Amino acid sequence: DKLEYYELEGVIAHELAHIKNYDIRLSAVVSVMVGFVVMLSDWFTRITFWGGSRDRDNDKNLGMGYPFLVSAALGFEQPGKYEFINRGISGNRIVDLYARIKADIINLKPDFMSILIGVNDVWHELGENPNGVDAEKFFTIYDMLITEIKEALPCIKIMIMEPFVLKAHATDEKWETFKTEVPKRAEKAKLIAEKHNLKFISLQDKFDEACKEAEATYWLEDGVHPTPMGHWIIKNEWMKAFQEMK
């Protein structure tokens, strides 16, 4: 049906009022800004590091370990393409990671993430107030962690990193336990990767091989925490896995 003259006149007056009051300009600006934000989110690839980061002191500081080395390498190769976030906290066990899953992973919506966890689940059981996580519970919590992340972020790409240990002053006294229990956590981590079809990064064999060239403390200062050279080993393996996943 056609509008009557007075009805058409009312519609035109209404639209002219929008123009006079800058309503259309505002909506146009808002539309452009929303589109710009969406474009920015598409430009950046967000990478989150989780676990194994002793030196991080705040969320914006990547520390001086393998996350820093990875960010330097990728940032140099493709300036501006990646955003790097380090959520590693020294001393964390698998249960601590699970407690932070919403704030430090799901809310951040990373495109890629790597997880290095396991040695503290053993180490914390060896102190005066035992608080470690046994191998079966380690697997159960790890499985819950990955399941929930993939349900919330179905497109995320995850790298599972193998926990490692060498004999040095922090591990020497309880070496029999470390050399038995850390491999158990490593085995469970590999099973998690296989179950969820994720990339698994072997590290223990790389450190064992490196010890043929220099003593253990050259790579892991106390048998647990990597030196700069130890972090370089981790960085190299991380980069290989990342290139295969891209």
pTM for this model (two decimals): 0.82
Which distant-in-sequence residues (6+ apart) come within 8 Å of 94 by Cβ?
117, 118, 121, 133, 138, 141, 142, 145
DSSP category for residue 191: H
Band of pLDDT at residue 62, cut at 50, 70 and 90: confident
Torsion (CA) 91, 95, 98, 104 in degrees, nearest 10: -20
- Kindly list the distances between the CA atom of residue 140 and the CA atoms of 147, 185, 195, 201, 246, in Å, as whole numbers in the listed order: 11, 11, 12, 20, 29
Which residues share a beta bridge with 78? none
Record the tokens describing residue 112, joined without a space.
Answer: 């890629």
1 compared with 152, residue with greater pLDDT = 152
Summarize pLDDT for 130-183 with one digit per residue, the tens: 999 999 999 999 999 999 999 999 999 999 999 999 999 999 999 999 999 999
pLDDT at 59 over 60: no
Q: Which of 6-15, 49-58, 79-88 has the highest mean pLDDT?
A: 79-88
Going by C-alpha positions, the residue among 101, 99, 191, 117 that lies closest to residue 161 is 117
Residue 48 backbone phi and psi in degrees, to 5 = -115, 135
> CA-CA distance, 204 to 181, in Å (whole number)?
13
Instruction: Yes or no: say if 142 and 97 are a contact pair by the CB < 8 Å rule.
Output: no
Supply angle C-alpha 12, 14, 20, rounded to 5: 100
